[in-house]
């Protein structure tokens, strides 16, 4: 089983979008549950919208007592995806990083967003003795390929202390539509195909190495 914490030190980078879609992508292979550790409860709200249940993982709200909640869920699920609040200082983020196998850090193509990841790298290193197996990975999020900034980002990100996933997520309006409908890009048919392929590529990069 794996615990994937989706973390960040800035608001609106795409943590919840990545959590929902990653979980939906993993759900096609295995049993998955989303733990919403953000007091804003966006993932939990998303699950209340829409009536679709096929291919959508359940969401458990756990802004309090995160470790206990995850402990209770781990036996019955192959993957637990934890959507964290937008601060590395939030206790939920630190708890998630203590127990996670993976920390995914979505970062928008902006230098300020990249610099904000330096704090995350420091916390990951501080927690390393407690969680030596934690693999932290920056995921480029909301990429706009035609902009210079997006093109320069991989080079700038290479200077950071954290590895950057080869798979990145482009800015695609289908993501916003899907949230409104309580779905993910995996339920959006052909309109969601390109976005779903990006999520699949990330899943393959994380889990398909042997
Ligand atoms: N790849 C994408 N393409 C287009 N829109 C996106 C993408 N990723 C996220 N968004 C949109 O950007 C906004 C912020 O995304 P999201 O809520 O996932 O970020 P967050 O990091 O969880 O925010 P918060 O810090 O408030 O929890 C939302 O409106 C979402 O629909
Ligand atoms: Mg969020």
Q: Domain with 27 in it: what CATH number?
A: 3.40.50.300
pLDDT-based confidence at residue 51 (cuts at 50, 70, 90):
confident
Ligand 1 centroid, distance to 176 Cα (angstroms): 8
Domain residue limits at 105? 2-207
Secondary structure string (H, E, C) spanning the chain: CEEEEECCCCCCCCHHHHHHHHHHHHHCCCCEEEEECCCCCHHHHHHHCCCCCCCCCEEEECCCCHHHHHHHHHCCCCEEEEECCCCCCCHHHHHHHHHCCEEEEEECCCHHHHHHHHHHHHHHHHHCCCCCCCEEEEEECCECCCCHHHHHHHHHHHCCCCCECCCCCECCHHHHHHHHCCCCHHHCHHHHHHHHHHHHHHHHHHHCCC
pTM metric for this prediction = 0.96
* 134-154 pLDDT per residue, tens: 999 999 999 988 887 777 777
How many distinct structural domains can be found in the chain? 1
Judge whether residue 65 has pLDDT over 80: yes
Output the ligand 1 site: residues, CB below 6 A.
8, 11-17, 38, 40, 42, 86, 141-142, 169, 171-172, 175-176, 179
Ligand 1 centroid, distance to 164 Cα (angstroms): 19
Judge whether residue 207 has pLDDT over 90: yes
What's the whole-number average pLDDT of the chain? Answer: 92
* 107-131 pLDDT per residue, tens: 998 888 888 888 999 999 999 999 9
* 74-100 pLDDT per residue, tens: 999 999 999 999 999 999 999 999 999
Residue to substitute in 17, 19, 34 for testing ligand 1 pocket (most ligand atoms within 8 angstroms of CB) = 17
């Amino acid at each position: 089983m794996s615990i994937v914490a989706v973390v960040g030190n800035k608001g609106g980078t795409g943590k919840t979008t990545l959590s929902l879609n990653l979980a939906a992508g993993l759900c096609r292979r295995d049993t998955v549950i989303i733990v919403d550790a953000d007091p804003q409860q966006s993932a939990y709200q998303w699950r209340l919208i829409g009536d679709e249940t096929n291919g959508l993982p359940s969401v458990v709200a756990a802004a309090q007592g995160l470790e206990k909640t995850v402990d209770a869920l781990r036996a019955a699920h192959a993957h637990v995806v934890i959507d964290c609040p937008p601060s590395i200082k939030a206790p939920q983020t630190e708890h998630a990083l203590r127990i996670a196998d993976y920390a995914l850090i979505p970062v928008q193509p902006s230098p300020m967003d990249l610099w904000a990841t330096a704090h995350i790298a420091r916390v990951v290193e501080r927690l390393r003795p407690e969680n030596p197996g934690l693999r932290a990975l920056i995921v480029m999020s909301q990429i706009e390929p035609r902009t210079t900034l997006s093109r320069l980002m991989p080079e700038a990100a290479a200077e950071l202390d954290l590895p950057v996933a080869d798979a990145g997520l482009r800015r695609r309006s289908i993501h916003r539509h899907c949230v409104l409908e309580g779905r993910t890009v995996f339920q959006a048919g052909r309109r969601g195909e390109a976005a779903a392929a990006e999520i699949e590529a990330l899943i393959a990069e994380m889990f398909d190495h042997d």
